[in-house]
Amino acid sequence: MTAGPLLFQGKDWNFETLQRIYDAIEPIAEKELGLDVFPNQIEVITVEQMLDAYASTGMPIFYKHWSFGKRFVQHQTIYHKGLQDLAYEIVINSNPCISYIMEGSSATMQALVMAHAAFGHNHFFKNNYQFQQWTAPESILDYLAFARNYISTCEERYGHAEVERLLDAAHALMAQGVDRSPHKRPLDLQQEEKRERDRMQERERVYNDLWRTVPGRAQPLAKAGKDRQRAMLGLPQENILYFLEKAAPRLKPWQREVLRIVRLIAQYFYPQQLTKVMNEGCATYCHYRIMTRLHETGRITDGSFLEFLHSHTGVIRQPMYYEPSYGGVNPYALGFDMMQDIARIVRDPTPEDKVWFPDLAGTGDEMAALRDVWANYRDDSFIAQFLSPTLMRKWRLFHVVDQKDLPYLEVAAIHNERGYRELRRRLAAEYDAPAQSPHIEVVDVDLAGSRKLVLHHQVVEGRFLEAEEAALVMKHLQSLWGYDVLLQEVDSRKGDNILKEHFVAAETS
């Protein structure tokens, strides 16, 4: 990389500056780091627009719902009180990949955001297997536009209150609306939209009011065994929204479609939950490399580099547990440190690293190693595989067990030879989102009788559902199912021993 003229001086920037910065960053990202990205689109927005974007999960197009207004009010309050800076980046997993930059930021910050979002996150979105599995960046914006139009049409046809009730209920079950293991058919949101339109047209075309008046034959009750019924309903089913969409007897077609929209959007964001540490680690590592290179080659001034470092260190600061600002593990800090550590192991391993990472230590090409990591892991497997003793010592990690009935907490493991594996296993487990969230399944429907829906929650280590919220969610679930619903908390180790029940009876109307 040869030195070049300064990209900018001072804080000010204009569109030429942005272009110059981008043109300087691109070869570093693509040639030196070997990043592979979607085409980029950089959008300059104002503070208010950033608040808007925040409120709708960063998406430029989103359907309307009061909860987004609530989120907006919360962010706005915090922002106006000066308690929090706006995050300086929002980036959308779409093709082209859209990164927002704020008009009030300095030229250095714009360079930082481009390096971080337009290259770091962008590369991660395009290459990580979870995103490839679950998201369709080509069509997400089209799909969101479809969703927004569909829902606003529903509001016109069926009334705001009706749609709001439905969305409230769907949102309450959103976390139970994702498939956690790959489906047989990959999602294509554009196809989904077309199919729905075709379905609708077909229904309208063949609709004949006469048929409604024909006296119905009683549904021939399946004589087949219970197991066959369950198989036909796809039970047990952990994707509750999917189950309701397909099987809830009382939902109208448009209601099923709305459930489907909420479910597909939940699924779209699911990979982001699974890869927070890696995604931020990747973006932070990339922006650090790129900004450092810009400084080395004299493209940015010392002052600008210092401004960058100030912001960078703020982002990757990890307070220790005894500091008042401690709020759990900072994913930026953990991700960045692990990426740095992997690079170190590849370039400059210690004898310990050679024992722990025989395939990685000393291979020499850190970017090849990192790109491979970014593509093929998610947070839990990433930490389980790559958290090194060096890093555990640096962070001085320790493991504390809190048993409810003991009067003391016990230190179970610390950063020493005996503790490394345990620490790593435990930390990885914390990032295993599917394992951390409650495991709930639809297990049975009383088809012959009351149509009661039965769900099971597997209780592990005495972790019951938070009862008050569970009761509220159950009410929503009941409103969607239309008949009685029963949620049993069971201990599968003891033969599905029922420990606790939540029951909501159908409203008699």
Partner 1 sequence: MRIVDRRLNPSGKNFENRQRFLRRVKRMVERAVRDASRERSIEELENPGEISIPADGVRQPILHHGPGSRRDLILPGNREYVEGDRIARPPGGEGGDGAASGAGGGKGQQDAFRFMLTREEFLDIFLDDLELPDLAKRRIALVDKEGLRRAGYATTGTPNNLALNRTMRMSLSRRIALGRPKAETIARLESELAEAAAEESASVESLQSKLDALRRRRSRVAYLDPVDLRYRRFERFPKPVAQAVMFCLMDVSGSMTEHTKDIAKRFFMLLHIFLMRRYKRIEVVFIRHTDEAAEVDEETFFRSVETGGTMVSSALEEMLRVVKDRYDPADWNIYAAQASDGDNLLGDNDLTRELLQSAILPLCQYFAYIEVRESFLDEANPFEGGQSSLWTAYAPLQKEGGKFQMRRVSRRERIYPVFRELFHRREAGAAHGDQA
Q: How far is the CB of 462 from partner 1 (least distance, A)?
A: 3
Min separation Cβ 346 and partner 1, Å: 24
| Beta carbon of residue 386, minimum distance to partner 1 (angstroms, whole number) | 16
Whose Cβ is closer to partner 1: residue 347's or residue 475's? 475
For partner 1, which is the closer residue by CB, 56 or 284? Answer: 56
Given the complex with partner 1, which of 231 and 472 has the nearer CB atom?
472
Nearer CB in complex with partner 1: 177/349: 177
- Residue nearer to partner 1 on the CB measure, 409 or 448: 409
In the complex, least distance from residue 232 CB atom to partner 1, rounded to whole angstroms: 26
Provide, rounded to whole angstroms, the least separation between the CB of residue 208 and partner 1. 38
Residue 120 or 349: the one with the smaller Cβ distance to partner 1 is: 120
Q: What are the φ/ψ torsions at residue 136 (nearest 5 degrees)?
A: -125, 80
Q: Which amino acid is at 413?
A: A
DSSP 418-440: TTHHHHHHHHHHHT-HHHHS--E
Contact 147, 163 (CB under 8 A): no
In the complex with partner 1, the residue whose CB is nearer, 201 or 416, is: 416
**Nearest approach, Cβ of residue 123 and partner 1 (Å):** 15
Angstrom distance (rounded) from CA 70 to CA 168:
13
Tell me the C-alpha distance between 150 and 61, whole Å.
Answer: 13
Rounded Cα distance between 237 and 481, Å, is 15
CA 13 – CA 42 distance, rounded (Å): 14
Contacts of 401 (CB under 8 A, 6+ apart): 409, 410, 411, 412
Q: Residue 55 or residue 346: which is nearer to partner 1 going by CB?
A: 55
- Please, which residues bridge with residue 92 across strands? 98
Nearer to partner 1, 38 or 288 (CB): 38
Min dist CB 252 to partner 1, Å, is 22
Q: Own/partner pairs for 53-60, CB < 8 Å, 24+ apart?
A: 53/90, 53/100, 54/86, 54/87, 54/90, 57/269, 58/90, 58/91, 58/92, 59/92, 59/144, 60/92, 60/98, 60/141
Minimum distance, C-beta of residue 468 to partner 1, in the bound complex (Å): 8
The string of DSSP letters for 92-155 reads E-SSSEEEEEETTS-HHHHHHHIIIIIIIIHHHHHH-HHHHHH--TTTHHHHHHHHHHHHHHHH
Would you say 152 or 297 has its CB closer to partner 1?
A: 152
User: What does the alpha-carbon distance between residue 244 and residue 478 come to, in Å, rounded to a whole number?
Assistant: 11
Given the DSSP bridges, would you call strands 97-102 and 90-92 parallel, antiparallel or unpaired? Answer: antiparallel
Q: Which two tokens stand for residue 178?
A: 């994702």
Closer residue to partner 1 (CB): 104 or 249? 104
Nearest to 119 by CA among 271, 279, 8, 269: 279
Min dist. Cβ of residue 280 to partner 1 (A): 16
Beta-carbon count within 10 A of 437 CB: 13
Listed in sequence order, the DSSP H helices in 9-98 are 15-27, 47-55, 66-80
CB of 291 to partner 1, least distance (A): 18
**CB of residue 457 to partner 1, shortest distance in Å:** 8
Element (H, E) at 282: helix 276-296
Measured CA to CA, the distance from residue 109 to residue 115 in angstroms comes to: 10
Angle between helices 302-315 and 276-296 (to 10 degrees): 170
Cβ nearer to partner 1, comparing 83 with 206: 83
Q: How far is the CB of 222 from partner 1 (least distance, A)?
A: 31
Instruction: Name the nearest CA neighbour of 385 among 373, 401, 397.
Output: 373
